[in-house]
Structure 1
Amino acid sequence: MGKLNGKVAFITGGNSGIGFATAKLFVAEGAKVVITGRNQVTLDKAVEELGASNSFGIQAETTDPQSLEKATAAAVEKFGRLDIVFANAGIGGHTPLGGTELAAFQEVMNVNVTGVFFTVQAALPYLKEGASVVLNGSVLANAGSPGWAAYAASKAAVTSMAKVFVSELSPRGIRVNTVVPGPTRTPIWGQPEGLAQMEAKLTRSVPLNRLGEPEEIANVALFLASDDASYVQGAEISVDGGGGSSPFGAPVYR
């Protein structure tokens, strides 16, 4: 018996990185999964790997509420219900103070904040008691990383929004929790040069002395999505190798 047998999940940005790893795990645990993404080619490839009987890919623009409404409606039309929302889609973006164009800053905020809000709003008409909403935060919300003001602000906004969602959705029996990844091997950092640079710098700041794998974030998303977390409401679970809780435990200080 899988932990998600009979459930249907909607995952934005489910065609790569953490979203795709989570989609794979959810399918393995018995769920039907609907994934969204901007790129039809990577969507098709992801669905092929997930299995057409278990998954459905929809090209959708996270910053367009109508696009999200069509996507959630198509998900329910395809699989008959909606039990889990993983508002995972997000972008990085270097926005240094003193050298950033308005459009670059706004794009990060639009995708990472506005997009998350309207993802949940689009799914809301289909969610019933016992449904689970999982948001994707980041340790960079509190890390003060230079050059990442928009990204940090956007992820802080996600964790802040989650608290409001909890108060609004608890009367309906819908749970809302946030997974908070640390540095993780995902395409958001650029491949392969960007990832190698990040790994060299950031592993020294992680007590466990390595980057996280997308599958390790997915495991926590699975817990929050499943009935194992039936009394977990408004939690923020860090998956960061100890970097947030014990920064002085990192190799750089040894």
Structure 2
Amino acid sequence: MYSYEMMLMIICPLVFCAGFVDAAAGGGGLISLPAYIFAGIPIHIAYGTNKFANCIGTSIASVKFFKSGNIKIKPGILSAVGALIGSWFGTKLVLFLDEKYLRYCLMIILPIVAIFLLFNRRFGSEDYMKELKNKKLYFIAFFIGLIIGAYDGFFGPGTGTFLVLAFTSLLGFNLITASGNAKLVNLASNLSSLVLYILNGKVLYSVGLPAAICAVLGNYLGAYFAIKNGAKVIKPVILLVVIMLFGKVIYSFL
């Protein structure tokens, strides 16, 4: 077990980096959660403390995107509602199915996503949401939240990135708006999980509070650069997260 000071030295810089990545394109949990575990925090407390810091950081990024006008409120709220429902079903599904089947699917899907991002240079550079009628848009938004929320409850890693990709490809949002809406949806699903962790005493506040400050700084800067630079920042970060997630899936089979 590391000393308290050493734990913070391990966790805080990585949580800052995770916040930056998460605000821009999602997937920050691929960086932050291993940091807590590497620092010697028991797995369930690591999950709870990670949720605590991430929720605070994500709320800052959500506010930043909202103030800049890069969140579509109605689709975002409907997706958030869908995510809450989907996450519940996804969590229940864990009791019946082995995660290895989802990992098999991800091994096929993730390389396809990476190739698509590499060769589609205009992906997410324009907003063509107006081509969808409101009812159809809201229907799709709800099911994006429902399906990816179920993924979040069942497996989890890369949820924010998949939300960005879904909002961009299915609703026609540009990457900045997709990132903003993904933050809102992720915040909703994370809050429900955090409540359970808090009620069960699985949050280490002495670590979570300093980590939350780092998460806030990372999320704020990540949102700032994403809003300012758009696809130039977000698209490479998405590709990085997809590669990291693919590596995690491969490693899980070793």
Fold-level similarity (TM above 0.5):
no
Q: By percentage of residues, which structure has more strand?
A: 1
